[in-house]
Amino acid sequence: MRDVAIVGVGMRKWGEMWEQSLRDLFVDSALAAIDDAGVDHVDSMYIGCMSGGLFAGQEHLSSLLADYLGQAPIPATRVESACASGGMALRSGLLEVASGASDIVLVGGVEKMNDVSGDQATYALATASDQEWEAFNGVTFPGLYAMMAVAHMHQYGTTPEQLAAVAVKNHFNGSMNPLAQFPQKITVETVLNSVLVADPLHILDCSPITDGAAALILVPADQAAKFGNGKPAARIAGFGSATDSIGLHDRKNLAALDAVARAAQAAYKMAGKTPADIDLCEVHDCFTISEIMAIEALGFVEQGQGGKAAVSGETAIGGRIPVNASGGLKSKGHPVGATGVAQAVEVVEQLRGACGPRQVEGAKVGLTQNMGGSGGSAVVHILEVI
């Protein structure tokens, strides 16, 4: 297989984007990535989207978005893996370039989530859980992650204050990101005094409902110097993906993310790297407990120590392993189909040294971790500057 590099990135402000449709959101970010890369065409495109039908009444995104972007009749594919749709779209795009089938591939992710009621959004998101055993019985994703948090607390002594420390850190990082949906700084006390959604998770432990998109341009790594308008490119050094039981009741351990661990092991092996070689990471903090469990599964801290790492500052910008310098899903937002693509956008910008006040000093190698549902699917990418 050929080595693959990211030479262009595009992303606009995320939030409640009432004046833009799903197609507008996608095309704005895609055009930004095309301009950033300096390419004059694309050979193929992949679109991560969890549920365009339930959120926006729009399926058949491959035809719609290729046409609206002005790229028809190129081949286009919509990729779905719940909240990991964006990361899986990146995996699909890099495999197409690596195989030699295409030289320039656009990878995008999009979700328009705010045009439905809260009840409808909850229903749409619940389709990523086990319908017969979880959703049918009234369990929502806050409830599922609350069960995981309780299990983690029982096994390792994790506390609500440690969960809150994750939210505080990510909102501090997000306060320096002009594209973040909720860039406000918060305190531990604010989190603990916010509305309880599913004990022990408060509303400020939860990522928001978000409209947004993000895009990348992929090319063979040996051609990367021709693109990017003089900006450094990021080689995808390794990647891995895995699945687990969709329902929590079938998991061996509610306090661990086995699919994330397996995906990470494959990515580290392919890249020839260990957790100690990673300078920063963007992880899937749909809830504060998920960041804690993710950094444990990725090998950045020992099992059960993720909460303490947030409190001690190990995962802050300037700490041993900066986590979610973008603000993460918690502050930046979580338009589910776009999240995995946006994680790669942030890492590429960090490797370019272009993140301003939230820049991780000396960043040369970054990692992204995107997962679907309560960890039923997971994908990890390792990027390094070239």
Are the beta carbons of 50 and 82 closer than 8 angstroms? yes
Looking at 49, 83, 286, 355, which residue is catalytic?
83
Report helix, strand and coil shares of the chain as percent, to nearest 5: 40, 20, 40
Active site residue 152: no
> Phi, psi (5° rounding) for residue 211?
-100, 135
Q: Which of 152, 202, 334, 381 is catalytic?
A: 334
Query: Quick one: tokens of 140?
Result: 């929502």
361's CB contacts (< 8 A; 6+ apart) are 318
334 catalytic per annotation? yes
Q: How far apart are CA 105 and CA 220, in angstroms?
A: 10
Residues belonging to the active site: 83, 334
